[in-house]
Homo-oligomer: A and B are copies of this chain.
């Protein structure tokens, strides 16, 4: 018990939590994927915080970005690790208030954080799927989450909230299951992946696939393509920051010395930081999952999948109330992309709030402490929970 208390580090944390696994779509009823392939059984890792109301009407689904997982808040028993990735936002009295809402955070299909992905065992062979894992889409991820929400006995979600690739899932939810999503909060995201965003993903994938340890994806049990994955992560990481943020955080400051080294060991703090980010990432992430999830993002184009090329048409089925948030310094999914989304939503007569938050930290801003976002989320959730569905 002492241990439990020690992990409940502050009164606004959900405290000790546990990762749950939900397995479904066993043969012959596999999940039918957008590609036409079938996949099963499928396991989805998830966590929940707070209490489902007797009316089952206070559930909030949180969806994570590329490298995230189901651990959005709280601490694991016996772990000294950092709390969940959105601890600043999810907890008692926080922006997403676990005293009021029953919060579900679902890991995505294709990930390596407990859900079925390329590193999982392929029941047909007894080995890891590797590249036999089918290419999945944002829609496939959402279909798997839908099965989880059904499993939890929830017919209607008060809100679906997520940033970046999580935001793409939010949009897909609102269009694919309009009757289930009372409110949608896409943060720092886009309705379609731009050529620039595809380009960065492709270069990162090339870095992985250029690593001889990648072995066509079949590296499980052998040396991992860690050098390639580290480079891939560094590429992505730079796109999450901004010129201004990097200037403030690093500038041209040197690491551990006063003069240039005149070698290639790394002189600048920004170089050390990126190398560190790369080396930490390979400890926790699977290279093939990086390939699959970035591919899903690249394929994301809501207007083509749901609107025959028209974004207005794509949103015509949704009934959700929207809070759309973009960040001034996000050059991966710039504000003009959120504005196009807002315009198409409004043309459908939907209830849409839009806020461009002034922030210098780039795309990653939605993960950083922000009184503005906290207050926006708190207010929006309060409103939709008190208005009739």
Please give the residue numbers on chain A whose beta carbons come within 8 Å of chain B beta carbons, in ascending order. Answer: 35, 37, 131, 134-135, 192-196, 198-200, 202-203, 205-207, 209-212, 227-228, 230-231, 234-235, 238, 241-243, 246-247, 249-252, 260, 262-264, 266-268, 270-271, 274-275, 278, 291, 295, 298-299, 301, 331, 334
Contact = CB atoms under 8 A, between A and B. Distances in A.
B206 A230 contact: yes
Contacts of A35: 260, 262
A15 B295 CA distance: 47
A198 B252 contact: yes
A324 to B, nearest CB: 19
Contacts of A131: 263-264
A206 B271 CA distance: 10
A275 B206 contact: yes
Contacts of A206: 230-231, 234, 274-275, 278
Nearest to A227: B210
Contacts of A274: 199, 202-203, 206
Copy total for this chain: 2
A228 B206 CA distance: 9
Given A210-B211, A243-B331, A249 B205 contact: no
A231 B203 contact: yes
A274 B234 CA distance: 18
A252 B207 contact: no
Contact of A195 (B205, B207, B247, B298): B247
Contacts of A207: 207, 210, 231
Contacts of A196: 238, 241-243, 246-247
A316 to B, nearest CB: 21
A331 B198 CA distance: 18
A279 to B, nearest CB: 11
5 contacts: A195-B252, A203-B274, A206-B231, A206-B274, A207-B231
A247 to B, nearest CB: 6
Chain B CB count within 10 A is highest, among A192, A194, A199, A268, for A199
A194 B264 contact: no
A208 to B, nearest CB: 9
Contacts of A268: 195, 198, 202, 298
Contact of A260 (B228, B263, B275, B299): B299
A203 B270 contact: no
A238 B203 contact: yes
Nearest to A250: B195
A118 to B, nearest CB: 11
Given A195-B252, A195-B270, A230 B246 contact: no
